[in-house]
Structure 1
Amino acid sequence: MLWHAIAPVRRYTKVSHDVMRHPRLNSDAKVLISYVQGLPEGEQGDRALSEHAREVGIKGRRYQTAKEQLVVNGFVHEHKAPGARGLWATHQLFSNVPLSDADALVVWREAGVGADAGGGTEPAPSAQLPTVGQPRARSVGHQLPVDEELGENSFRPPTQAAHSEAASEELSPEEVEVERVLLSLRECRRDLRLGVAEARSLIAPAVEWLRRGVSGAELREVLSSGLPTGRVRSAVGFLRHRLVQKMPEAPAPAPVPAPAPAPVPAPVSEPAPESVSVPEPAPPALPDAPPVPPRVAPLVTCEGPGNEHVFRAYGGATLCPDCQQAAAWARWAERRAADLGVDLAEDAAKAVEAGRDPDGWRSRLAAAAAVAAAEGVGEQ
């Protein structure tokens, strides 16, 4: 860092290095010390410190922070003293060196600021006459009642006992659910916020909804859906109107069963002679039947062509499902060949010569179709 300085010969202020290098003072506090120290003799005590700070551009929160640092570190002391006509005035002591409270008290005494600062007597009250009239004696009565004391305020604010009793009332399960639903409407719209007293004023019509078969979730949806675009001015009035106007119909009363006919008293007869009844012997206990095993179809050898294989036969079947399907396709191929007027035996021989599988119905049908097409072309 380059440094170039020219010592001024006039219009300068000497500031201590202890102030400029003070670790607990910010730049605004140091500027205030330098500025006030450099003021002429007559201008230092005429105005408050805030006015001097305003001249150098230190305002608002910056001034409050700088002043707090100056007060904490002993550069500024403040003292409130009674002034003329009973008004209080705040006096400020500003120093370019830190002063303790005892040192500041000595300065206050020497300057004669404040009665309690210097330990003198309190200033005498003003000698002005009362604003209206002269003091007069009491015209009526000379003694207050026994049960009344002078200066006592007989007004007693209302207690919260009634409110606390109302808040502590025990609610039924339906009323508790309805109150929870009404208080939760604030989550849908802020202007539907209800207090506890307001919510309890709406419990009666809301409980009627539950008695008519509406659940708490459905009630909340009805009250929070289709809200106006603007702000709801009165949440209590708006919700009471909805509860009354949109209340569902009451369920139809259940039919009252017809009263049963009165039983006809049986004729009174003479009691029969008592007979001695012999208890019958209990039947012998049957042994527990063994559990019936599930029925499993037996394995049967398939009668179809190809390699020997077995399957579980149900209903007396002799062919496995695959052979049944192959036989069905073979029968269909024979009927189709008969409709076309071709001989499957000859076609099978031709298919063997052509290298095809004569056992498959598809091969036989394809061979028959090819032969029929060739014969048709030959005739043309």
Structure 2
Amino acid sequence: MFLHAIPPVRAFTKVSNALLAHPRLGADAKVLIAYIQSVQGHTPLTWHKPLSAYAAELGMKPGRFRAAKKELVENGFVHDLPDRNAKGQRITRQWVSNVPLSEDAVHRLDELSKQGASPSAPEPAAGEPGDSPVGGVTETKTTTKTKTNPTLPPSEPVGAGTAPADAAPEPEESEPDPAPEKPDEPDEPEYDVLQLAAAERVLRELKTARNDLYLGARDAHALAPHAALWLARGESLSTLWRELTVSLPNRLVENAHGFVRDRLLRKAPPVPELGARPQPQPQPVEPAPRPRPLVDCGAPGCGKVFRPVGGETYCGPCRIEHPEFARVCEAMSERPWAPLPHAGPAV
């Protein structure tokens, strides 16, 4: 497949890759969320149309809409909150988000909207089209974060390279001393396949701590090597889980992949020195116990050969057939006899 894509410069909508690659959302649910984001000139405080109205604008049939809404509700993208209006009538306040939200987070956003505070980003939104006349020039105001360099001294004018005769000669530059040699850094320990799989499993379970820490299969697989280094450096799975879930911000995490990656790199344990690394101790191999030799049954007229467990001299059938003789021989034996499996210890 060949791909020819031209990035738009105006009138576009930002849709996260996590939403497009969500494994539990169908195509209708993803298109519906993207279409709602593309609606221009609205804020969350003025969206009065229900979700079904936007689905109707897309030409989505009722059956397909119900299936898409069910997927969005189950995965935390759509929340229906029952409420009452000023007349006391029952209404439903519907919240739609492009990231999974918990019930507590939606209730906090709903309280903010009732107080008149908009939880959305300030206007203008990215990609919003502007009114520009045909053939005219559109004046836009952009705010970018740039790194400023310190002011450089003004350049010398042409002809100023010749120094005056009475100027003092510049001292000769001496060669800098060679930099001291750095000590050898300890080698990075390598993780094995089991540690990689365990680390990926921890990353996939972060959604149980908070819904906004959900990582898809692709994100968890990409971050697993960074988490596996924690285990290779001697940290446990519980420590890895605690460092990733402790002191979470009060606001919603918009980019779970970047948030988890920053914590894995920033809080990574130091590389242990070679002498401090735990060396695996060889486990002593115990020899297999040798089987006891076969003995002849001491019951009169038997002549069978069996392998005793304890100090018994009667085979199992003879102990059942001649219990009195077996008890006498057991009392005279130096080692205790093993009880019969079905009869229990002798009384």
Please confirm whether the aligned pair reaches a TM-score higher than 0.5, indicating the same fold: no
TM-score, structure 2 length as denominator?
0.31
